[in-house]
Amino acid sequence: MENATPIAAEPSFYFDNSYARMLEGLYVPGRPAQVVEPVLIKYNRALSDALGLDTQALDSPLGAAIFSGNHVPIGATPIAQAYAGHQFGGFSPQLGDGRALLLGEVIDRAGKRHDLALKGSGRTPFSRGGDGKAALGPVLREYLMGEAMHALGIPTTRALAAVTTGESVHRETGALPGAVLTRAASSHIRVGTFQFFAARGDIDNLRRLADYTIARHDPEIKEAPNPYLSLLRAVAERQAVLIARWMNVGFIHGVMNTDNMTVSGETIDYGPCAFMDQYDPATVFSSIDLQGRYAYANQPLIARWNLARLAEALLPLMTNAPERAVALATEVLDEFPIHYERNWLAGMRRKLGLQAQRTDDLALATDFLKTLASRQVDFTLAFDYLADETQVPHQTASRLQALHPTVNDAPTAPPMDAWLSRWRARSALEGRSPLAQTAAMREANPVYIPRNHLVEEALDAATQQGDMRPFERLLDVVKQPFGKRDGLERYALPGTTEQTAGYKTFCGT
């Protein structure tokens, strides 16, 4: 990749638009729609500094003009990216950015490349009848969720800015305040990006895309014996890490279409996402996931299914022998569950305060989850209580039972006291003091997540009353998810039955 060069007339950005320069045919040029009254309501100063941007200059009316799309900064090359994708299992050969524009790429202080893209910036040729706009609620949800995931150590795209437009967007629920989000990502290359050329049988451009992706994300495999097979393996390994971390914190993406899976291994498109309260593997929040395709427990299975679609797209590049290509790709896909389980179990060991690897740890971890499911216990709170158990023994079972006193043990779940005895015996093998184990568990288990009822409370205040204070408070809380803090007790507790029963999330498109 070429190095970026300074833009003398406008020092706030140093763009190097390699995607637009090198992948003609995978995008169409675009211009953001002009908005009436742009107001910068959130600017991510920490991210801005990390990206090497002129934070002082951009956290201002100038930033509002740029991040609303009213002013395209010098050096930017706005484009709408083309991609295909499987949406809820059905294939669409052409999707693309229907309400987003990639402004360009900036190089951060460490020399790493990042996309900067506007979301909600108006119609593009890929809008498919939509207005291309975004409402304030979904914009703030994406900002909040991205920052929470980043604080939890989960690879994610992040919001750089949120701007209100002074205009209304119209949805089924009525007129809503409009907004534009600016998103930073390692790239916006998706599984669906590869499917776009593969569906057309355009092998030359498919190879061009794959070579670009390798140069951008995996330059070390460029000289591998089969770089395209190595690319599939690298993406699969990143996804194994990502999905395992989702599962370790109870995160449900909600719409794991192939156009929503990045090859960089970052979480993208926080539409109908949510964090699970009561532990139930079948949990679904998305209002459009009527069959539970993207339920919590299905996420590792869907990740492998999506990777199979990437493998199909890459097959022509791997070898001229189709049967051999299928065999090579299948080997990588068969390794995915192994990589996923290894990463998931490593995360569970940390959550359970264990360091060494023992063969019965998988059963110990899965049996704990069975006890939670049988009691309908809050996922996040259960691990918090378990950390307390190392200091105040024999309290966890009664505290969990107190949350749902009418729920008895399921026949297939071991009693909590019996499981705790196993866990204590296993913990004793570590040779650590209870204090050290507690400290380790506190570092692995968040106290504060974006609880659904608190997210809705914050978004309602911002969109209906114009009051950003609940959002700001919740954002500050989830940006420091580990360790209890005085005065934040309500942020650590699940919602009431009235607040959580039948909770649904929406795409916001």
Q: Which of 73, 270, 59, 31 is nearest to 163 (CA)?
A: 59
Rounded CA separation 262/243 (Å): 12
Q: What whole-number distance in Å separates Cα of residue 275 and Cα of residue 365?
A: 20
Hey, which residues does 85 pair with through a beta bridge?
92
Closest CA relative to residue 38, chosen from 181, 122, 164: 164
Alpha-carbon dihedral sign for residues 408, 413, 416, 417: positive
Please give the span between the terminal C-alpha atoms of the chain, in angstroms, as a whole number: 34
The structure tokens listed for 169 are 């967007």
- Those residues with Cβ within 8 angstroms of residue 50's Cβ, 6 or more apart along the chain or in another chain: 108, 109
C-alpha angle 236/217/270, rounded to 5°? Answer: 65
DSSP string, 258-312: GGG-BTT--B---SS-EE-SB--TT---BTT-TT-TT-GGGHHHHHHHHHHHHHH
* Dist CA 370 CA 416 (whole Å): 10
Token code pair at residue 101: 């524009």
What is the dihedral sign for C-alpha 17, 21, 25, 26?
Answer: negative
Question: What are the percentages of helix, strand and coil residues in the chain, rounded to 5?
Answer: 45, 15, 40
Please list the active-site residues: 259
What is the rounded CA–CA span in Å between residue 266 and residue 209?
19
Backbone angles phi, psi at 160, to 5 degrees: -95, -35
User: Length of the chain in residues, anyone?
Assistant: 509
